[in-house]
């Protein structure tokens, strides 16, 4: 009986220490400097790039997330994808667009970044554009990634040129709960006009 009680106490102590570690990890991850949001429709609904002989379908969300996470992390350090209980100094809503012109073999990429702080206060809108020459039938993924990478680099450069945004991001003190930007506010974003395919 005593041995079972000792085993039970040991297991409870181990469980409590694991829960403490997990809670500390959640607290550390629940607050980031910059949060990034991409609409779920960009992950679930593919767009179609048209060509007379070859069509290409792609999901924009995963490509833009990977490229934007790397570029924004280089520029601002602590960047995270928006999840339920997170908050940060600002939230960036990324809206990708891609078009292919088969006559001139050009991919036209565009990424719009709307930056918000607090509970929906709009800091600015930054639009990055790109034109990348490529073929829809050869090395399509590489051309698409390059088009998005150039557009995202353009967006980040415009964000870094904005003095008001830089002042907000470089402030050392973590803002109060009234000024922090929670991920739950994405439901309050203004809806843009309906996009048909990639427009």
Could you tell me which CATH class the domain 32-188 is placed in? Answer: alpha beta
Work out the average pLDDT over 170-176: 60
Would you list the domain boundaries of the chain?
32-188
Distance in angstroms (rounded) separating the CA atoms of residues 74 and 106? 28
User: Are 91 and 183 spatial neighbours (Cβ–Cβ below 8 Å)?
Assistant: yes
Q: Is 175 exposed, middle or buried (0-12, 13-18, 19+ CB in 10 A)?
A: middle
Distance in angstroms (rounded) separating the CA atoms of residues 59 and 46? 4
Ranges 44-53, 136-145, 175-184: which has the least confidence: 175-184
pLDDT per position as a tens digit, 118-162: 777 888 999 999 999 998 888 889 999 999 999 999 999 999 999
pLDDT per position as a tens digit, 68-109: 999 999 998 889 998 877 888 889 999 999 999 989 999 999
Q: Which band of pLDDT confidence, cut at 50, 70 and 90, is reported for residue 21?
A: very low
């Amino acid at each position: 009986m005593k041995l079972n009680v000792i085993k039970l106490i040991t297991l409870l102590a181990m469980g409590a220490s694991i829960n403490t570690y997990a809670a500390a990890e959640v607290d550390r991850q629940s607050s980031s400097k910059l949060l990034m949001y991409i609409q779920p429709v960009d992950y679930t609904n593919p767009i179609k790039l048209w060509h007379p002989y070859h069509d290409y379908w792609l999901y924009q969300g995963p490509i833009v997330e990977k490229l934007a996470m790397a570029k924004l992390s280089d520029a601002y350090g602590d960047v995270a994808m928006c999840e339920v209980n997170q908050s940060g100094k600002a939230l960036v809503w990324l809206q990708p667009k891609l078009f292919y012109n088969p006559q001139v073999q050009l991919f036209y990429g565009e990424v719009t970044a709307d930056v918000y702080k607090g509970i929906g206060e709009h800091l600015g809108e930054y639009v990055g554009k790109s034109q990348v020459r490529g073929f829809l039938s050869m090395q399509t993924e590489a051309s698409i990634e390059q088009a998005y990478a150039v557009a995202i680099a353009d967006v980040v450069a415009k964000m870094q040129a904005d003095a008001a945004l830089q002042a907000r991001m470089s402030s050392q003190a973590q803002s109060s709960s009234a000024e922090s930007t929670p991920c739950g506010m994405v439901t309050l974003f203004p809806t843009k006009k309906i996009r048909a395919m990639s427009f």
